[in-house]
Amino acid sequence: MIFVENIYICLAAPLLLAIFLTSKEWQGTLIALFSGMTSCLLSGYINAFCMAVLDLDEDSAIYQINPAIEEIMKFLPVVFYLVIFEPKVKDIVNKILIISIGFATFENVCYLTGNGTDDLVKLIIRGLGTGAMHVVCGMMLAVGISLIWEQEWLRAIGILAVLCPAITFHAIFNIMVSHQGVSLFCGSAIPLIMIDIYLFFFKKE
Amino acid sequence: MLEIIENAFQIIVLIIFVILSFVFGSREKERKWTLLFFYYSCFLLGNAYWQMCLFYYGKAPQIALVSDISWYAGLIFLTLLIYTEEIQKDWKSRLKNSSLRFLPYLSPVFTVAMAIYFMQYGKYVSNIIYAIIMGILMFFAIVGIIIPYKNEASFLCVAALCFCLFDYGTWIFSCFYENTTIYMGYYIFDILMSLVLPFFLIFIKRRDAYDIR
């Protein structure tokens, strides 16, 4: 049995120290990373609760409810940041990506602890694929928010509408990678390809 | 098998129009193209997820939370598109003066009645959310038809209304899944929905061409 709380404490403790010791310009990034990891931990609890309430097994929950819960939990620190600090669009994009990376990192560490470190190829596919997927979902949120946030009347409705592509993309990814063979390979490759397209065509903008 | 083929047809139509709305949006950089792109994308993702479940697991998901959320988002984007493009700022006063002012208020009555009917099959929260979103969408679609923008018929609102009615058609016929003959109505209405989808882009492009002239 993995004690995720212990893993969380081991990863979060140095981050917390760094938040207090670094300069102001770094604190925001570290807090975002910390928030991502915290969201991942809390998502685990909520996933387990929903599985029990809805009477779903783990294989079904992975593609039916986990994506929605994880994306919403990832998005909560973003909403807090947007509403309280009212940052510039560029800051929103960076913070969302860091939160997504924090989430993906913690998830991968828990996976590593639970499944061992023997199969390097599988870990590379898992690490890159899942990490890229969370980053792509974060990018979707970032792009969507940057489009809607300037119009106040759009904000409330737009948040829901922006969250949805991220949830669905995450769910489709989970379906593909939960099956071995070509499906796992393609599922892991799609987010990486999307990031490459973004870097090549849209990064400058 | 028929559901997979019919869903695949709808997905292909959506992919084409996601690409087209993206191309027009990146060229013209106007909000309506962004809203249209997000509308098509959300529907595409919801359908793609449903299709994935049918393909990988041979059945629809037990909890359709992911696809439902995508479809809610698509409908919200369509509502925003209708509201920003077809509804004038003084629509409330113009509606009061119209002889057909009672018509838009039939839409929430219709959607609530349908929600109550569908609740006998369960999914209470989902049905309530659909009733609210569809009620608002159909309300503004009917307002756009009654009080046309620039006195030109609002084909976009007509397309949106048709889309909603066909969607309700699929839901009604899906209740009769045990009777394969009646259930064919589900596929017919779903194909009709697929055929309405291109008209949103066509009517927006047509409106652009009209404004240029």
DSSP string, chain A: ---HHHHHHHHHHHHHHHHHHS-HHHHHHHHHHHHHHHHHHHHHHHHHHHHHHHT--HHHHHHHTHHHHHHHHHHHHHHHHHHHH---HHHHHHHHHHHHHHHHHHHHHHHHHHH-S--HHHHHHHHHHHHHHHHHHHHHHHHHHHHHTTSHHHHHHHHHHHHHHHHHHHHHHHHHHTS-THHHHHHHHHHHHHHHHIIIIITT-
Say whether the ipTM exceeds 0.85. no
Chain B residues with beta carbon closer than 8 angstroms to that of A63: 53, 61, 66
Give how far A33 is from chain B: nearest CA, Å.
26
| Whether the Cβ atoms of residue A170 and residue A136 lie closer than 8 Å to each other | no
pLDDT of residue A72: 92
Structure-token match 């016929």, residue found: B173
Whether residue B25 lies within 8 A of chain A, CB to CB, comes out as no
Are the beta carbons of B69 and A168 separated by less than 8 Å? yes
pLDDT of residue A173: 92
pTM across the whole model: 0.84
At A130-151, the pLDDT tens digits run 889 998 998 888 888 887 777 7
pLDDT of residue A25: 84
Tell me what the mean pLDDT of segment B23-49 comes to: 87
pLDDT at A124 over 90: no
Tell me what the mean pLDDT of segment A16-29 comes to: 88
| Whether the Cβ atoms of residue A45 and residue A12 lie closer than 8 Å to each other | no
Q: How far is CA A165 from CA A13, A35, A112, A194, B56, in A?
A: 33, 22, 28, 14, 20
Query: CA torsion sign, A131 to A134 to A140 to A144?
Result: negative
Structure-token match 């009646």, residue found: B182
Nearest to B52 among A157, A163, A172 (CB): A172
pLDDT of residue B14: 93
* Length of chain B (residues): 213
pLDDT averaged over every residue in chain A: 86
Distance separating alpha carbons of residues B99 and B102, to the nearest angstrom? 8
Residues 6+ apart with CB under 8 A from B132: B111
Tokens of A119: 């199969």
| Whether the Cβ atoms of residue A144 and residue A161 lie closer than 8 Å to each other | yes
Among the ranges given (A23-37, A124-138, B58-72, B88-102), the one the predictor scored with the smallest mean pLDDT: B88-102
Whether residue B188 lies within 8 A of chain A, CB to CB, comes out as no
At A141-193, the pLDDT tens digits run 888 888 777 777 677 777 877 888 899 999 999 999 888 888 888 888 889 88
Could you count the other beta carbons within 10 Å of the beta carbon of residue B168? 18
Are the beta carbons of A64 and B70 separated by less than 8 Å? no
Structure-token match 């009061």, residue found: B96
